[in-house]
Amino acid sequence: MTDTTMTTNAAMTETRMEDRILPDKTIGQVHVEHPRMTARAVDVHYGTKKAIDSVTLDIGERQVISFIGPSGCGKSTFLRCLNRMNDTIDICKVSGLIAIDEQDIYDPSIDVVSLRARVGMVFQKPNPFPKSIYDNIAYGPRIHGLANNKVELDQIVEMSLRRAGLWEEVKDRLDQPGTGLSGGQQQRLCIARAVAVSPEVILMDEPCSALDPIATAKVEELIHELRAEYTIVIVTHSMQQAARVSDRTAYFHLGKLVEVGETKQIFTNPVHELTQDYITGRFG
């Protein structure tokens, strides 16, 4: 009996959601004064399916912007366009313009390797290399030739681990495998690995979804500190997290960027009904 009722309720929510009209234009401030990255009318197709529909957005320098929205809304897809990680998917086609410092990143003259050195990435699941902690951090600087000698490399490793707040915990066991760390430490190791190649932008794809609350708190604290030097884009499923760590928040729905604005404004005074419903937990 309860089953039937629940189905009916769900169906009703569905219809209510369908009723909401996706806006033709993104609501709120898509432009900022000092953009580090700009996206203009970006469409992404997976085969014939449209995953992102005409997204225009500026990502401000030394700001944290968070992407929120229900599952499958395209926020991760859009994030992966920013350092062309979608290139690895054969059927994925990106159109529109994405630029970093006014340089089109999909321009044929741009080397994707140098782009990814400038736009680092942290993934949902901690994915350290099955190598030592030291080698995990040193890998990026080594392949990009960032250090001229061992001393410089040691400095980069220490600096990166310090920035990721991991130095004190691992300084005595740098030669031990990175995979032997706890989940939270592994994720901070991955952040340190991204920081080690001195990127301008760090993309984080749900970096805390596999972590416990304490580890999450540490990573959030870290994001707070990293903001002083890096531009950070974070995809998150936790609205509290978005509210805590970001300066701006963008709400995606069914491949469209519905609303974007100051985090405070989005969470206290959302304009669009969909944003409002999502923030208040009506669906998601």
Partner 1 sequence: MTNLTAGALSPKEAIDRVAATLRRRRSAEFRFRFWGQAAIGLALGFLVLLFGAIFSNGIPGLFQHYVVLDVELNKQRLDPQGDMSVNSLYAGDAEALIREGLLAALDNPTGRSNTRAARGIISSGSAQRLVDFVYANPDLMGQTVPVKFALDDDIDSFLRGFIDRNTPEADRRINDTVIQFVDKLMASERVSYEVSDYLFFGSASRDAEMAGIRGAFIGSILTLFICVLISFPLGVATAVYLEEIAPKNRFTEIIEININNLAAVPSVVFGIMGLAVFIVLFGMPRSIPLVGGIVLALMTLPTIIISSRAAIRSVPPSIRDAALGVGASKMQTIFHHVIPLAMPGMLTGTIIGMAQALGETAPLLMIGMVAFIVDVPGGVMDPGTVLPVQIFMWADFAERMFVQKTSAAIIVLLAFLIVMNASAIWLRKKLERRW
Q: Which of 117, 104, 52, 106 is CA-nearest to residue 79?
A: 52
Residues 6-45, mask of contacts with partner 1 (x by CB under 8 A): ----------------------------------------
| Closest distance of CB 189 from partner 1, Å | 11
Stretch that binds partner 1, among 39-47, 101-109, 191-199, 274-282 (CB under 8 A): 191-199
Contact pattern from residue 149 through residue 188 relative to partner 1, giving x for each residue in contact according to CB under 8 A and a dash for the rest: ----------------------------x-x---------
Q: Which of 1, 21, 151, 214 binds partner 1 (CB under 8 A)?
A: 1
Given 31, 143, 183, 282, the residue binding partner 1 (CB under 8 A):
143
Q: Which of 230, 266, 201, 173 shows the shortest CA–CA distance to 189? A: 173
Give residue for tokens 């066991």: 173
For the chain, what's the residue count? Answer: 284
Q: State CA 171 to chain mean position distance.
A: 28
Tell me which residue of 183, 182, 204, 180 sits closest to 194, measured CA to CA. 204
Q: Smallest gap, in angstroms, from Cβ of residue 161 to partner 1?
A: 15
For 105-243, strand residue ranges (E) read 119-122, 201-205, 231-235
Residue 141 CB, nearest approach to partner 1 (Å): 9
Minimum CB separation of residue 155 from partner 1 in Å reads 18
Maximal CA-CA distance, the chain: 71
CA–CA separation, 211 and 32 (whole Å): 32
Q: Which of 9, 103, 114, 240 binds partner 1 (CB under 8 A)?
A: 114
Helix (H, G, I), strand (E, B) or coil at 43: strand
Binding-site ranges for partner 1 (CB under 8 A): 1, 4, 83, 85, 88, 90, 113-117, 120-123, 125, 127-130, 139-140, 143-144, 177, 179, 190, 193-194, 196-197
